[in-house]
Homo-oligomer: A and B are copies of this chain.
Amino acid sequence: MLEQSTADPLDRVFAALSDPARRGMVERLSAGPASATQLAADHTMTLSAVVQHLKVLEASGLVTSHKTGRVRTFTVEPEALGPAQRWIEDRKRAWHRDLDRLEDLLRQQAP
C-alpha cells in the first residue's frame, strides 16, 4: 500500500504553489521539460534544496519525472491545476449568485 497521506489534493496543490521558488520552477517547466541541475541553475540554493522542492511539486501532481541514465527530467502536468482553478471559479460564481439574490431583495423592498 502506497502511503498517500490523507490530505485533500487541493491542500497539496495550493501549498505547493505558495512558495515562490516552486512557482518559479513550474513557470520554467511550462516552457518545456528540464533536469534537476538545470532547474537549480536559476536559484541560489543548493541542488539538494531544489530537489526537495521538486519532490513537493511531484507529490502535488503538478510535475512528473522520469530518470534516463543519471539525469532525472521533470515535466509540468497542467491537468493538476484543474481542481484549483475550478475551486476558485466556483467561489466567484457563488459570490455573484449571492450578490444577485441581494439585488433582487433590494428591488422588491424598494421598487
Contacts and interface: CB of A to CB of B under 8 A. Distances in A.
- Number of chain copies forming the complex: 2
Given A11-B18, A15-B18, A18-B14, A27 B81 contact: no
Query: Contact size class for A?
Result: 20 to 34
25 contacts: A10-B17, A10-B20, A11-B18, A11-B19, A12-B18, A14-B15, A15-B18, A17-B84, A18-B18, A23-B87, A26-B91, A27-B94, A30-B94, A30-B95, A31-B94, A31-B98, A32-B98, A76-B91, A76-B95, A78-B95, A81-B88, A81-B91, A84-B88, A85-B85, A85-B88
Interface of A: 8, 10-12, 14-15, 17-20, 23, 26-27, 30-32, 76, 78, 81, 84-85, 87-89, 91-92, 94-95, 98
